[in-house]
């Protein structure tokens, strides 16, 4: 019997960040595995919101409010259910920790200390963390914080399950929720395609996806878009150099999206298709393009504490549609209807695609196997091939200095990227005024 087998009698599950289809598959499969092998499972409600405020005297954890113990009835039909049984939040106990020196600061790590003490107050010996890259950062910080505990104080073993519909996670090929989001938005795109055909118009569709083009490209392929542009495509003609000054006052040159070049490419698409008797089309843009717009278009746009543009506040589909319509008029003397549309949020709690149920279930089972069978701590559960389980150490996923998890971009040389390029309309050079 391993140490993990003998010491882990009660396991906690926490979900943090935005929803993703398949979340309940992870929760259900993990819980079933632990309970069938003699462990109790505690579901922490609404992410870390209760745990990070824990105080033994003033704010003890309350059953029914902060947590519940899983029973058989919680698991009935759960793997295919929408939403998140345990709820979620963006409460982040590692928010103040931003550098390698910070984990030694008792003030900055106080919320992590409260989380650890809260877990131990309920006899939780292991934690299954489910969430995006920020939640991975928190899991790693909690893992590292415990290295500083006094000798003899019990640790909580941690494994992390990656979650994002954006599919931009390092250490795994596909994240649960991605295929559901692609399927959901791909069908919406097909509806817009039919609308465009009927009205002889164009739709410029912004998809979720944060900094990368994974979701935009997936939706474009599934929804038969006529053009797709992601952040990774902003180079060469689509890129323009600008001097950018950040919040600290540091000035550097960056490649930003050339709206002129993008609008000309869209006009070329419209004219190419018109020559073929096709007077309609759909164009997909990744929302991350908003963050690299020329600075003149970002004045007054809210930013987060890290200086990142609030992508939800920039309707890049509408912006590009208006500019492209204007450019079409300048080049042809005619009008063309282009309409901007945003897609994404409705997909986050859609009924999970069968593949996401399978993927989420395997990842949930992987949490059990990692903690109990393998005796792991500080690892992320992953899969490869035909859902074969792998376990990736946090140290391979998190930058050692910033403690931030790296983003996985869609590579322009990849076959996935080339697939979309082959399926979209091949634009013919058009005369320009």
Q: Are 362 and 176 in contact (CB under 8 A)?
A: no
pLDDT digits (tens, 9 = 90+) for 341-368: 999 899 999 999 999 999 999 999 999 9
Residue 104 or residue 31, greater confidence:
31
Question: Which of 103-107, 175-179, 200-204 comes out lowest in average pLDDT?
Answer: 103-107
What dihedral angle (degrees, nearest 10) is formed by the CA atoms of 289, 312, 195, 257?
-10
Pair (389, 419) in one structural domain = no
In a domain, 32, yes or no: yes
Pair (170, 317) in one structural domain = no
Q: Are 288 and 212 in contact (CB under 8 A)?
A: yes
Give pLDDT, residue 1.
Answer: 42
pLDDT band at 151; cut points 50, 70, 90: confident
Pair (267, 356) in one structural domain = no
In a domain, 39, yes or no: yes
In a domain, 196, yes or no: yes
CA–CA distance, 376 with 74 (Å, rounded to integer): 27
In a domain, 222, yes or no: yes
Report the candidate in 406, 363, 389, 377 with the shortest Cα–Cα distance to residue 140. 377
Q: What is the pTM of this model?
A: 0.93
Range 120-124 contact pairs with CB under 8 angstroms and sequence separation of 24 or more: 120/154, 120/156, 121/54, 121/56, 121/60, 121/61, 122/10, 122/12, 122/42, 122/61, 122/67, 123/9, 123/10, 124/10, 124/11, 124/12, 124/42, 124/156
Q: What is the CATH number of the domain that holds 58?
A: 3.40.50.450
Provide the CA 428 distance to its chain's centre, in angstroms. Answer: 35
Structural domain boundaries enclosing 166: 3-174+352-396
In a domain, 406, yes or no: no
Pair (132, 25) in one structural domain = yes
Q: Is 253 exposed, middle or buried (0-12, 13-18, 19+ CB in 10 A)?
A: exposed
Q: What is the CATH number of the domain that holds 187?
A: 3.40.50.460
Give pLDDT, residue 309.
Answer: 65
What residue spans of 93-177 are helical by DSSP H? 110-121, 133-145
Backbone angles phi, psi at 128, to 5 degrees: -100, 110
Pair (185, 319) in one structural domain = yes
Pair (199, 164) in one structural domain = no
Pair (167, 236) in one structural domain = no
Q: How many domains, the chain?
A: 2
Q: Are 18 and 132 in contact (CB under 8 A)?
A: yes
In a domain, 236, yes or no: yes
pLDDT digits (tens, 9 = 90+) for 48-79: 999 999 999 999 999 999 999 999 999 999 99
Structure-block tokens of residue 196: 């465009």
Range 273-278 contact pairs with CB under 8 angstroms and sequence separation of 24 or more: 273/226, 273/425, 275/428
Pair (191, 278) in one structural domain = yes
Report the candidate in 224, 226, 231, 218 with the shortest Cα–Cα distance to residue 355. 218
Q: Are 407 and 133 in contact (CB under 8 A)?
A: yes
Pair (267, 135) in one structural domain = no
pLDDT digits (tens, 9 = 90+) for 210-246: 889 999 999 999 999 999 999 999 999 999 998 877 6
Matching residue, tokens 């003609």: 237
Structure-block tokens of residue 228: 């797709």
CA angle, 19 then 25 then 31, to 5°: 115
Sheet with 40-44, side-by-side order of all strands = 67-69, 40-44, 10-15, 126-131, 157-162, 379-384, 388-393
Pair (226, 329) in one structural domain = yes
Q: Are 273 and 226 in contact (CB under 8 A)?
A: yes
Start-to-end CA span in the chain (Å):
77
Taking each continuous run of H as one helix and of E as one strand, the counts in the chain are 11, 13
Pair (14, 88) in one structural domain = yes
Pair (52, 102) in one structural domain = yes
In a domain, 191, yes or no: yes
Residue 432 or residue 120, greater confidence:
120
Backbone angles phi, psi at 370, to 5 degrees: -65, -45
In a domain, 155, yes or no: yes
3-state SS assignment for residue 285: strand
In this predicted structure, the answer to whether residue 311 has a pLDDT above a threshold of 70 is: no
């Amino acid at each position: 019997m391993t140490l993990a087998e003998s010491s882990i009698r009660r396991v906690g599950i926490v979900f943090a960040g935005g929803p993703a289809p398949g979340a309940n598959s992870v929760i259900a499969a993990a819980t079933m595995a632990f309970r069938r092998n003699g462990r109790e499972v505690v579901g922490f409600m609404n992410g870390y919101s209760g745990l990070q405020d824990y105080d033994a005297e003033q704010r003890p954890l309350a059953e029914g409010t902060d947590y519940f113990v899983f029973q058989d009835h919680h698991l009935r039909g759960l793997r295919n259910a929408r939403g998140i049984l345990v709820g979620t939040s963006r409460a982040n106990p590692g928010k103040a920790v931003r550098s390698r020196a910070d984990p030694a600061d008792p003030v900055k790590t106080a919320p992590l200390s409260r989380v650890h003490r809260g877990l131990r107050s309920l006899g939780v010996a292991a934690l299954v963390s489910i969430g995006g890259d920020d939640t991975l950062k928190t899991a790693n910080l909690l893992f590292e914080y415990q290295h500083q505990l006094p000798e003899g104080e019990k640790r909580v073993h941690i494994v992390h399950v990656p979650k994002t519909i954006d599919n931009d996670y390092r250490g795994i090929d596909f994240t649960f929720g991605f295929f559901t989001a692609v399927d959901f938005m791909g069908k919406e795109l097909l509806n817009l395609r039919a609308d465009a055909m009927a009205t002889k118009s164009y739709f410029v569709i912004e998809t979720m996806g944060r900094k990368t083009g994974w979701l935009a490209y997936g939706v474009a392929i599934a929804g038969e878009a006529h053009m797709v542009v992601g952040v990774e495509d902003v180079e060469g003609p689509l890129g323009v150099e600008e001097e950018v000054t950040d919040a600290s006052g540091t000035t550097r040159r960056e490649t930003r999206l050339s709206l002129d070049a993008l609008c000309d490419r869209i006009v070329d698409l419209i004219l190419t298709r018109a020559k073929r008797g096709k007077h309609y089309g759909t164009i997909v843009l990744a929302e991350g393009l908003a963050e690299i717009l020329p600075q003149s278009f970002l004045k007054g746009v809210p930013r987060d504490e890290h200086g990142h543009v609030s992508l939800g506040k920039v309707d890049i589909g509408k912006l590009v549609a208006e500019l492209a319509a204007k450019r079409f008029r300048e080049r042809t003397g005619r009008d063309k209807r282009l309409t901007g549309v945003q897609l994404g949020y409705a997909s986050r709690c859609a009924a999970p695609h069968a593949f996401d149920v399978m993927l989420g279930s395997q990842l949930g089972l992987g949490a059990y196997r990692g903690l109990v069978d393998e005796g792991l701590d500080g690892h992320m559960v992953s899969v490869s091939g035909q859902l074969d389980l792998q376990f990736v150490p946090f140290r391979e996923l998190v930058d050692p200095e910033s403690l931030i998890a790296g983003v996985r971009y869609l590579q322009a040389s990849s076959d996935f990227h080339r697939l979309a390029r082959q399926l979209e309309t091949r634009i013919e050079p058009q005369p320009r005024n």
